[in-house]
Amino acid sequence: MRKLVALALALCMALPCGALAEEESVPQAILAATGSVAVGENTLSMEAPFGGTIEEINAQEGDRISQGETLFSLDTVAVYAPVSGTVRGILAQPGDSAAVVAAQYGALLYIEPDTLVMEVDQSRAYDSEENETVHVGEEVYLKSTDDEDRTGVGTIVALGEGTFRVEVGENNFEDDEVAEVFRDPDYDNETRLGRGTAREQSPLAISAQEGCVVEIDVTDGGHVEKGEVLMQLGAGEFPGYVAREKTVTAPVDGIVASVNAQEGQSAQMDQAVLTLCPYENFELSVLVDEMDLDKIALGARVYVVFDAFAGEMLEGTVKSLSASGTRAASGAQFEVRVSLPEDARLLLGLSATAYFMED
């Protein structure tokens, strides 16, 4: 009874003085019930855009979120440049299946290595037992047969029958330079291992057998260093091969209703990571005794007074009445949901009293 009187006083204070004489204009509350702000039906499920590991979750349950704010991001598998060189021919685009592109073109992209390569003929070595054996990974020193000032340093990368291959690093050779290869950095003739021609390497195919292309981090014709990230891959394939961003942002203002995953956890494509409740979808949940159900009408006007907003009332309507009740000392109680106007001050769990009005 005290709550109904309080409502009447609040309503009278909100009306112009002249309206007090018109008693029939003052709305009458027929029932009061307490409850709290709850999540409505129209929540937004924020899902993983592709399969992968959840890298970071930037929001927690109950957090206020603004439109455009980052909610979470997925980790991707980086494809690194195995050599330094120039990117030649990017055949994949964001959204593509890595396996499909690799099968069709033989690679996702190509790199033209900076280093030269030389096939060394061991028959041109200085005749000694020691020079007959070379090892993969061994560092060697090269000097041009035309100009002793043109030199280079290389590494033996493969062995053949009477030959070995050198990957030439630092050098000042000209195109198709013929050079002799030595073990000794001072080019002692007794350490000569053979002779060959330094040539540009064939473009190196960069490929992957699974995953979807999330982003390309290089440009065609651009230079990359060994170990630089070329592209990012996600698990699975994009529907329709349409790329999705690895970072998920809030489409509207609201509150995080629940967080359904953890950082470092694997997520499937379209798996719900968190639930966002827009401010416009908040509802007031109250329990009404079974003896008062005849006073509840769907669509009826309800005034809501929040403990946290002294002297203020919000207006809503009866949205739903539960078809099943819960037992209480006074009998069964049924949940009634009341719609609330959009208000950024609302928080989940905020206490309020609902005053149900006559039709």
**Identity of the amino acid at 345:** R
Q: Tell me, what's the pLDDT at 146?
A: 94
User: Which of 121 and 174 is assigned the larger pLDDT?
Assistant: 121
Domain 116-200 architecture: Beta Barrel (2.40)
Tell me the pLDDT tens digit for each residue of 267-323: 888 899 999 999 888 999 999 999 999 999 999 999 999 989 988 899 999 999 999
Look at the domain 2-41+279-357 and name its fold.
Elongation Factor Tu (Ef-tu); domain 3 (2.40.30)
- 305 vs 105, 315, 350, CA distance in Å? 67, 9, 11
Q: Tell me, what's the pLDDT at 263?
A: 93
Q: Tell me, what's the pLDDT at 27?
A: 58
Q: Tell me, what's the pLDDT at 336?
A: 96
126, 192 in Cβ contact below 8 A? yes
Domain 77-112+204-240 = CATH 2.40.50.100 = yes
Tell me the pLDDT tens digit for each residue of 181-231: 999 999 999 999 999 999 998 899 999 988 899 999 999 999 999 999 999
Q: Do 77-112+204-240 and 116-200 share a fold?
A: no
Task: Supply the mean pLDDT for the chain.
Answer: 88
Q: Tell me, what's the pLDDT at 24?
A: 40
Q: Tell me, what's the pLDDT at 19?
A: 34
Q: Work out the percent of the chain whose per-residue pLDDT is above 90.
A: 73
Four-point Cα dihedral 237, 43, 351, 295, nearest 10? -150
Q: What pTM value is reported for the model?
A: 0.62
- 31 vs 11, 90, 359, CA distance in Å? 15, 70, 12
Domain boundaries, the chain: 2-41+279-357, 77-112+204-240, 116-200
